[in-house]
Structure 1
């Protein structure tokens, strides 16, 4: 049997592929086009943690973990012929789709990048879903990392997937309305709708994994050897808020909190995100659900000010002098919004949270201290500024949003918040 992992060069995709490969003898086929590396380079940044090329990664996985079931194909999933060829040759029983352009700020820079993000993300997903139908592979379990960002920030607890609507005395379960706040997040809203339709029309078993802001630098498998490390972005465009704050702490910058900063955001540790995807991928085909299931891949909500204060506290262990500064909020938003997200289904899947936020921060700071020079060399990328688009020789002004990219999710692909 074969498991596909798309976006396998990315932050979540690579450690997920390793986790699966260590727990099965099935072939694990990695697919990516390395676009994530190009996107990060285009905004003047880099991964803080050195990322080896895919051939060296796979060789290290065999040497360190004894894995012989990993293989790689370079391919652009927006090209239908590429997808058709992959599906017809390899006939996967499971697809974990983490590939996407994952950054909300990147998608907001200008119309060109908004169009690119939507075409890249939506076309890849449609090609895969239609490919399964057209190649008679509708029993394939399709698992995609979307995002909790599709929910927006409602004032009521967010359900794990659907919602109950009542009108004129009648009630029914309906998909949660798309309340996304960026051109990137809307791609995941559209993907969620397309997956629901593909299940209804084609009968494809679907797991829509709505990933929260993922944080952390390693998993059990990647920690075994530096060549197996996953990428770690810390810039304004592709680094999540917790990662940026940690990088600022290491570089001696104050962590800036707008207003009170009590608004909560959903988070999940990289280890917990990878474990959930692996559990879904390794589910017994004879007993796994054949329906459409939504998982809220989140372990807890954390306020912006709590993130900063936790990092400041842990930073003392590394002899880092860190300040938390509050500034007047330039945006109109509820600075005390207490986001609540139901996650019972996902918690059952992973058996509960394995990593606390404080432990995750300690891991991140410990890693970044080792790569302080790289962080400091790119410290101008912590905040939005003015970039020059070398390809088109024009200047673009950045979109100002403190949420950064989401999770992650990944490469050719994605990510999350």
Structure 2
């Protein structure tokens, strides 16, 4: 059996690769074009944690964890000829698709980057889905990390994938309407629709894993050796809000909350996100879903002000004098939105939440104190007002 994991060089993809490979003797084929490294360099930033090359990572995985079942293929999934060769050679029984340009702010910079984001993300997914059909591999379990951002911020509880619509006295279950707020998030809305169509037309079993904002710096597998570290972005474009706030705290800047900051966002720890993807990838063939299943990969919703206050409290343990400052909100948004999001299927998959937000921030601050010089050298990348009015939230499906 072969498991194919795309976006294997990314923040979520790399630790997921190690978790899956450690639990199976099957071949695990890693795929990436290493573009995430270029995108972050392009916006003038870097990962706070040093990132080894893929060759160094694979060597460390063999030496430290004894993982001899890993192999790496570098290539661009938006090129159909590459995807066709990839599927023909490796014939995967499972694909975990975590490759994408994952930053909403990056997709909003200008039309060129909006076009690039949509072409890159949606073309890659279409190539994989059509490739499975054209290579007679429609029994392959297709798992994709999309994003909870496809839901937007409705005023009613968000279901796990679908909604009930009533009109003229008739009722039916329909996909949740795409309410994405960025050119990036809209790519995942289109991916969700295309996966549904591929399941309907081709019969491909699909798990649409809608990943929340992910926090944390390591898993047990990545913590075993510095060469196995996953990346940690803290800049405005690629760093999620919790990671940016933590970097501000390390650099001695107050954490900046726009308006009341009581609006809640969905979050999940890196460990819990990795575990869910590993469970889906390694499911016994007899137990795999043969339909399309949506999982809300989230453990809880957290307000922006709670994020800042939690980091400030945890910062005391590291002798950080952290302030929380409120600024006038430049965006037209509900500053008290109480997001409610169902996650029953995902909770059943991973069991109880393993890492609380406070524990995750303790992990983050503990790591970042070792790389204070890197953050200080790039502090202009996360200061408020330097770039534009986006809040820096990104999804975590990474290339």
Check whether TM > 0.5: yes
Contact 1:60 1:227 in 2 (8 A): yes
CA distance in 2 between counterparts of 1:403 and 1:167 reads 38
- 1:245-284 alignment, distance < 5 Å: 245-284=245-284
> Offset of 1:176 from its aligned partner?
0.3
Indicate if the aligned counterparts of 2:247 and 2:368 stay in contact, CA closer than 8 A.
yes
- The residue number in structure 1 matching 2:34 is 34
What per-residue deviation string (whole Å, max 9, x for no partner) do you get for residues 167-187 of structure 1?
011100000000000000000
Aligned to 2:312, the other structure's residue is in SS state helix
- Which piece of structure 1 moves more, 43-52 or 324-333? 324-333
* Match of residue 401, structure 1, among 386, 390, 396: 390
- For the residues of structure 1 that align with 2:201 and 2:383, how far apart are their CA atoms? 45
Question: For 1:360 and 1:98, how far apart are their aligned partners in 2?
Answer: 22
Instruction: Judge conservation of contact 1:246–1:361 (CA < 8 Å) in 2.
Output: yes
CA RMSD of aligned residues (A): 0.8
**Contact 2:272-2:355 at 8 Å conserved across structures:** yes
Q: Structure 2 matches for 1:2-401, cutoff 5 A?
A: 2-383=2-383, 398-401=387-390
Following superposition, the deviation at residue 332 of structure 1 comes to 1.2
**Secondary structure at 1:164's aligned position in 2?**
strand
Alignment deviations for residues 169-228 of structure 1 (CA, whole Å, 9 cap, x no partner) = 110000000000000000000000000000000000000000000000000100111100
Q: Distance in 2 between matches of 1:11 and 1:287?
A: 28
Whole-angstrom distance in 2 between the partners of 1:268 and 1:305: 17
The superposition leaves residues 257-289 of structure 1 with CA deviations (integer Å, 9 ceiling, x where unpaired) of 111100000000000000000000000112211
Which secondary structure does the structure 2 equivalent of 1:305 belong to?
helix
Provide the C-alpha distance between the structure 2 equivalents of 1:288 and 1:100, rounded to a whole number of angstroms. 25
SS at match of 1:302: strand
Give yes or no for contact 1:108–1:399 (8 Å, CA) kept in 2.
no
> Matched residues in 2 for 1:381 and 1:313: separation?
24
Counterpart contact for 1:105–1:400, Cα < 8 Å: no
Quick check: 1:213–1:268 contact (8 Å CA) kept in 2? Answer: yes
Q: Distance in 2 between matches of 1:56 and 1:127?
A: 29
Give the secondary-structure state (helix, strand or coil) at the position aligned to 1:256.
Answer: strand
Give secondary structure in 2 for the equivalent of 1:286: helix
Deviation at 1:404, TM superposition (A): 2.6
Compute the displacement of 1:384 (Å): 6.4
From the superposition, tell whether residues 385 and 82 of structure 1 become closer, same or farther in structure 2 (CA, over 3 Å).
farther
Distance 1:131 1:292 in 2: 18
Q: Residue by residue, what CA displacement relative to the aligned partner does 1:280-319 show, whole Å, maximum 9, x if unpaired?
A: 0000112211000000000000000000000000001111
Q: Kindly indicate whether the alpha-carbon contact (under 8 Å) linking 2:331 and 2:389 is maintained by their aligned counterparts in 1.
A: no
How far the C-alpha of 1:130 sits from its partner, in A, is: 0.1
Kindly report structure 1 stretches of 4+ aligned residues shifted beyond 6 Å. none
Could you state the TM-score of these two structures normalised by the residue count of structure 2?
A: 0.99
Using the TM superposition, give the Cα deviation of residue 400 of structure 1 relative to its aligned residue in structure 2, in angstroms: 1.8
**How far did 1:385 drift?**
6.4
Tell me, in whole angstroms, the C-alpha distance in 1 between the residues paired with 2:140 and 2:335: 43
Contact 2:330 2:389 in 1 (8 A): no
CA distance in 1, matches of 2:366, 2:287: 42
SS at match of 2:294: strand
Q: Please name the residue that 2:398 is paired with.
A: 410
How many pairs were matched up?
Answer: 399
Q: Matches of 1:399 and 1:175 in 2, distance apart? A: 33
Residues 20, 282 of structure 2: 8 Å contact kept? yes
1:399 shift after superposition: 4.1
CA apart distance, 1:409: 2.3
Q: Is the 8 A contact 2:298 2:343 kept in 1?
A: yes
Distance in 1 (CA, whole Å) between partners of 2:329 and 2:388 is 16
